[in-house]
Structure formats: structure tokens, C-alpha cells
Structure 1
Amino acid sequence: MVQPVAMSLHEQVRNTLLFEIETGVFAGDGKLPTEPELCERFGVSRITVRRAVADLEEMGMVTRRQGRGTFVAAERPSLGTMAMGGFSDQLSAAGPTSRRIVEATTTAADEATAQRLGVRAGSPVFRLIRVFLLDDVPLSLDDSSYSLERYPGLDTMIDDATSTYRVLRETFGVHFHEVERRIGVSFTTVETALLLDRPEHDALIRIDKVARDRKDAIIHMSTVEVVPSRLELRMTAREE
């Protein structure tokens, strides 16, 4: 039997406050209770409360205002999960967005990758892993694969400042016709926890994506892992 991991006192306080923030308990002026009030409520020390609130601040959920107290942070950036575009096309947020390449490699497609991309086994595949950030705070980790037979030289055209979707459209004339996304849950590993600046085994939203063109050829496949406390997913359905 798998034993549950015991949470420290400050993690219990943090998670309770996080739930209350998410469910609108502090709607209105958005002000959290004072340290003494939280100590009394949870029966813990000031050090424990301060660590819990510091975690929330690091997560971008609260802001401290000198002489006024701690307040729920402004609305999180929103990502439209039913949109056609890539990350920078979809993100709605105040503040500068950026990308950081973690890995960019070219390998021969194994059987599983070849089948998923719809190419022959052994053909060159460009794998691109990037962290996407807002105000230098990591929001998500994107692991994408592209066929270099379909898009020769793509691996030489991408850097931290480049949108792959823009290159595909403008250089290769790609038209994004269909994007399928499957949404689930994953957890940070030792490596991804460092990249996303989160604790190990922290819950993430996982989006497995396949994009196709008008001929039903696969443009790319990707797995995006999103820090849920830093980014809101938005889905809109409209009547035809």
C-alpha cells in the first residue's frame, strides 16, 4: 500500500488558504486575515503562518502591501485551451512573456514516435522542450516533436525569442486546421520541479496536444504541463 506523504503544518495552512483563495472566500477587498488571526485560527506559531503566506506569495497568489496587510493577487493570466494558436498566441495576461529552451535535439524516430507523427521510423525528428514564463515566473513546460522531413531546417530556426507557430506559418506555409487537446493531471519530477520552480510531486495540469493541417498531416505533437496556481485555463463553446 502506498502511504500518504505527511504535510508539514505550514503546508496545511498554505493549502487551506489556497483553497479559500481559489473558491472566492476573500472576495471583496481581497484581504487575508492578519498573522495573529491566522495563528489563532490554525493554532500555529507566527513562523508557521509566515512560511505559509511566503509560499502563497511565491506562487503568485497573494501580495503583501507595506502597512496594509496581505491581499489576494490580481487575476491570473488565462490560456484558451480551445484556441488554434500556440502559447504566445493564446495567453491573455498583463506583463512580458518569454520562452527558455531547455532541450533542442534531433533524433531518429523510433516506432512509437513515427506512428504518432505519421512518419517513417528512422526519419529525423526535432524535439523541443521549453519553459514559458510571465514576468520571469515559470508558467508551463512544453515538450514538442516535429518531423524534419516535413519541415526541413526547422531545428536551425528556433531560439528563445522565436515562436515555432510563426515560423511554421511564415516559412513553411502551414495552416493549422485542427488541434486536439486531452487534459489530465501530472506531477513534478526532480527535473521538472527545478524547471518550474515548484516542489517535487506538485500537481500540474497536463495537456497532450496534436495539431493537424488541412491534409490531416500531423504538424506536431506536444505535452504541456501547467502550474495550476499560476495560470488559468479557459474553454469557450459557441453554438454553430
Structure 2
Amino acid sequence: MTSFAPDSIVLNRKLPLWYQVSQSLRASILGRSPRDPLRLPTEEQLAGHYGVSVLTMRQALKELEEEGLITRHRRRGTFIEPDVRRGAPVRLLGSVDAIVAQQSGMRTELLGHGTGPVPPEAAEHYPDLTEAVTFHRLRRDEQTGEPTNHARNYVRPELAARVDPADLARWPMTKVLRDVVGVEIGRITDTVEARLADPETARLLDVPLLSPILHYTGVTHDPAGRVLDVAVIHYRGDRFSFTVTLDAT
């Protein structure tokens, strides 16, 4: 039987290492194929993979255990929960891998994509553009098929030309731009606010009109500050909460 192979990450020393490792593992767990094994490598193997101490690795695994993604058994090892519910809190701590983790592990349907005028909700971020390429996706819980969120990404045309729409059925736009297109990401600025479901959102998410939703805007910049992508995501209010963790050290 093949072993579980988590993605590699470049750790940011300004953020808690355990958090970055837990988010990378979370993304790998939620994004795995149903045919992949449920048993994780040992703590020592995982620590070596990420280049952290065993104590840091244990803290990362504890976070995933508390979230219900894994179970740990003395002498038997650590196992991915096969029936874990994919809906989860929106948690932001300034890590790109945290964003990737948040958007992974759902069944994704590409509703459409094409070039058009920059919409008002993205215009302030693209003062130099008249047109952008829009990718519209609907995400569902892999187990229940229940819609969880729908997203529009407004991407610079020169970058969008290098995006394979098939990749967006597997990975978030952030991961596609960084790991497939090869764009260097400097920072992502996130805004989350409460709104009421408009007719389109109510239909796509299968919720009553004017029911509460979480409206998320994520603006991705390169290291020079140029905007690469503007993501607008509507989350079902009954499936998600919003949590911010501030590191005081």
C-alpha cells in the first residue's frame, strides 16, 4: 500500500510553525483522492518532511485532531477520518497555505469562464485594466453533495491564458497560480463581511432568499504589489464561521 504524501511548503518564520504545518497537512488531507491510504506517516517522518521538531509536529497534529480530521492511536499510528465533514471555519492567519487549505477538499464544478469588462467589485483593484478573465465555480461537500460556496475569480488576462480550467476542478486558484502557472505571490488581503443572499446566490447555494451568507474577498498581489487575482466567494452562513488568530509574539 502506498503511503500518504503531504505537500511540501516553504515555512515563514514570522508565523507559528505548527500552524503552517497543520494548514499544509489539512490541505493535503482534504485534497487527497478517496483511493489514497488513511494512515499518516509517523510523527518523526512528518517532522523530517517539513523540517520542524517533533514537538512542533505534535502540536500541528493536535490541531487537526481537535478539528476532527484525524484520530491518533497509541502504537497503531495516526489516521485520517474517512467520514470527516468537509465544511469548516474560515480561518485566516496570513499564510498562503492557510488559504489553499481553506479552499481544498470540496467537489468543484466550473460554471463558466470568459473575458469581459472588469466588474465594479474588482475595479478598484485593477485601475490599469479594462478587461479581466472571470472563472466562476461552485463547490459542494464531497460526501453529501450539498453546495457550500460559489466563487468568482477575476484574473489578469495574461495570467488567465496560462490557467487550465481543468486544474480549477482540483485546486484553488491560489495554488494554480503559484504552483502551476509559477507566479510568485507576495501577499493576500482578505475581507469577510455578513450579507444577505441575492437571488443568484440563493439558487446556487440552495438557501432561502435573503438568508445570511459570508461574503469573502481575497486580493492576491505579487511581491511588487501588483494585483494578480481578485476572488469573491459567497459561503453558506449555516456551514461556515469566521475565525481570526492573532499572534502576539
- Give the TM-score category using the shorter length: 0.5 to 0.7
Partner Cα distance (1:170, 1:75) in 2: 23
Alignment of 1:1-240 (within 5 A): 77-82=88-93, 83-85=95-97, 88-90=100-102, 97-109=106-118, 113=122, 115-121=124-130, 123=131, 125-134=132-141, 135=143, 136-154=145-163, 156=165, 158-240=167-249
Partner Cα distance (1:155, 1:87) in 2: 20
Conservation of the 8 A alpha-carbon contact between 2:186 and 2:223 = yes
Query: Shift of residue 145 of structure 1?
Result: 0.2
| One-letter code aligned to 1:84 | V
Q: Deviation per CA, 1:12-38: give whole Å up to 9, x if none.
A: xxxxxxxxxxxxxxxxxxxxxxxxxxx
Q: Which runs of 5+ in 2 are unaligned?
A: 1-84
Conservation of the 8 A alpha-carbon contact between 1:188 and 1:204 = yes
Instruction: Tell me: CA distance 1:113–1:205, structure 2 relative to 1, closer, same or farther (3 Å).
Output: closer
Matched position secondary structure for 2:225: coil
Matched position secondary structure for 1:116: coil
Query: Shift of residue 137 of structure 1?
Result: 1.5
Conservation of the 8 A alpha-carbon contact between 1:78 and 1:91 = no
Query: Shift of residue 157 of structure 1?
Result: 5.3
Q: Which has the larger radius of gyration?
A: 1
RMSD: 2.9
Partner Cα distance (2:159, 2:133) in 1: 11
**1:4 alignment counterpart:** none
Partner Cα distance (1:87, 1:117) in 2: 22
TM-score, L = length of structure 2 = 0.55
Q: Deviation per CA, 1:66-116: give whole Å up to 9, x if none.
A: xxxxxxxx8962222334247652258xxx521122231222447985552
TM-score, L = length of structure 1 = 0.57
| One-letter code aligned to 2:136 | I
- Tell me the number of residue pairs that the alignment of Structure 1 and Structure 2 aligns: 162
Instruction: Tell me: CA distance 1:91–1:153, structure 2 relative to 1, closer, same or farther (3 Å).
Output: closer
Query: Shift of residue 232 of structure 1?
Result: 2.6
Query: Shift of residue 173 of structure 1?
Result: 1.7
Conservation of the 8 A alpha-carbon contact between 2:218 and 2:230 = yes
Q: Which runs of 5+ in 1 are unaligned?
A: 1-73
Conservation of the 8 A alpha-carbon contact between 2:218 and 2:232 = yes
